[in-house]
Amino acid sequence: MSAAARATGDGVLVGLRSLLAKELHEQWRTLRLPILVVVFLIIGFGSPVLARFTPELVRTLAGDQFTISLPPPTAADAVDQLLKNGTQFGILVAILLAMGSVATERERGTAALLLVGPASRTAFLVAKLAVLALTLALAVAGAVATAWLYTAILFTTPSPAGFAGAGILLWLELLVFTALTFLGSTISRSVLAAAGLGFALLIVLGVLSAIPTVGAVIPTGLAGTARTVALGLPEPDWRPVAGAIVLVVAVVGASIAVFEREEL
């Protein structure tokens, strides 16, 4: 094999294509991808249904002893349910997906096995992050498409572009927590420590979002922007979007910088 033939990419991304294929294969073979898509489809289906039937459910449970007056449900309630369920469950999933991605490979020695060769460390990390992002994107896309369909059936037909935009923003929020946990997985030698760091940063972001000046750009505000976009309301607040993009880029950069210097 000639030296030229050994190269599978350029510069810092040598081996990226093969590593991407391996990561995608892993997501499929370990059933993470299909399971996640199915679970998010259930969220997408369940959110409008829950929004539609919650008032009736509450009235039935309350019986004749109480009189509970609830406004008639709307498409906005379906969107709220989708964003609430998608965010809560999605963040948990993002942390679970990312926590072992690097720490496990280092612990098992598989990273060393692949990286004693032409493949670059940056390509190794980028492939992992890209496939995690793709996995979440497919899951969120499934959830949003299903939610749009059932919202149209149970309420009124919402804007497809608005739902698509909300889906992208929900995905971006999940990507923030994926990237933060990924950094934890890169820094720490233990999967649990990586998960702990992910949850700790979740709490930190929650606290920061309560501070008026800082809170405006904290990615936890993405759900609000997503709601505005989904419902076609005027003047969405784009500051959390900018904050999320900056945070993801910074955290991914930090992960690569750490991993490039790390001993395997």
What single-letter DSSP state applies at residue 158?
-
Nearest-CA neighbor of 43 among 7, 14, 85? 85
Which residues of this protein are in contact with another protein, per CB under 8 A?
1, 3, 5-8, 14-15, 18-19, 21-22, 25-26, 29-30, 108-110, 112-120, 263-264
Smaller CB separation from another protein, 43 or 127: 127
Q: Which is nearer to another protein, 1 or 61 (CB)?
A: 1
**Closer by beta carbon to another protein, 26 or else 80:** 26
Give the nearest distance from C-beta 179 to another protein in angstroms.
23
User: Which is closer to another protein, CB of 22 or CB of 84?
Assistant: 22
Least distance CB 112 / another protein (angstroms) = 5
How many Cβ atoms from other residues are within 10 Å of residue 75's Cβ? 21
Toward another protein, which CB reaches closer, 80 or 262? 262
Here the tokens at position 68 are 């509970």
In the bound complex, what is the minimum distance in angstroms from residue 95's beta carbon to another protein? 21
Q: Quickly list DSSP for 2-40.
A: -HHHH--SSGGGTTHHHHHHHHHHHHHHTTHHHHHHHHH
Q: Min. distance of Cβ 20 from another protein in angstroms? A: 11
Long-range pairs, 106-115, Cβ under 8 A, ≥24: 106/189, 106/262, 106/264, 107/189, 107/190, 107/191, 111/264, 112/264, 114/19, 115/264
Min dist. Cβ of residue 214 to another protein (A) = 38
